[in-house]
Amino acid sequence: MGNEVNCTVTRAGRSSTGRALLETSEIIFRGEDARLKIPFSAISALWAREGELHLRTKDGRFTLHLGARAEKWREKIANPKSLIDKLGVKSGEPVTLIGRFPSAFCTSLKKHGAKLATPKAAAAAPWIFFAADSREHLADVKRVARSVRGTSALWIVYPKGQKHIREADVRASGLASGLTDTKVASFSATHTALKFVLPKAKR
């Protein structure tokens, strides 16, 4: 993935090698001897130079040695995409929501120009969002997956870092329903979204 890379992070003269992930609203770094989570909102200064991404927060200055990706990351951090843009929904497109979603997400969809459709109209919507808070909820994925037609997509939104519903569980439910997963996105501070589509041979 273009937003995940092996790199070295330097802070206060100490360096750690690991893997950095550029999320929707934060940078996550997991190294051999360091783990960092830097929200974009905490960054007070940001610049890229000679393959290095420099940033400053109240906790100090960090340098990520990213090579050719440094300027691209700086641009994405300085001008982050909205959640709706990252999920791929375009203005005027019908969206079906199945399950409970935050009111702020519904408001964002409407402001973006998306048209909210009822679950009964899911088969006619290019975007279906299904909220799953437990493994038990995943039992409905096979039924929901029948509404995925052509190039439409199903996003399954589930809690992050929970044992009662893991990414492996969500992926398995989609695959068992005849779909294939193509993308993962941070939906919020507490939830992740996994995108499923029909295999090309079935479109």
Same domain, 64 and 111: no
Burial of 140 (0-12, 13-18, 19+ CB in 10 A): middle
Q: Tell me whether strands 94-98 and 115-117 are parallel, antiparallel or unpaired.
A: parallel
Please report the pLDDT score of residue 1 as a whole number: 43
Return the H-helix or E-strand segment holding 78: helix 70-78
For residues 83 and 187, the answer to whether their CB atoms sit within 8 Å is yes
Distances (CA, A) of 109 to 131, 167, 188, 203: 16, 25, 15, 26
Which pLDDT belongs to residue 113? 94
Say whether both 108 and 13 belong to one domain: no
Final residue of a structural domain among 78, 108, 132:
78
Number of domains in the chain: 2
Q: Are residues 61 and 127 in the same domain?
A: no
Q: Are residue 72 and residue 97 in the same domain, yes or no?
A: no
Residues of the chain with pLDDT below 50 are 1-2
Please say which residue of 31, 57, 78 terminates a domain: 78
What pLDDT shows up at residue 42? Answer: 95
Which pLDDT score, from 0 to 100, does residue 71 have?
A: 96
pLDDT score recorded for residue 50: 95
How far apart, in whole angstroms, are the C-alpha atoms of residue 21 and residue 12? 21
Per-residue pLDDT reduced to its tens digit, 51-60: 999 999 999 9
Q: Which domain holds residue 138?
A: 83-202
Domain boundary among 78, 107, 132: 78
Q: Look up the pTM and report it.
A: 0.71
- Token couple for 79: 């001008």
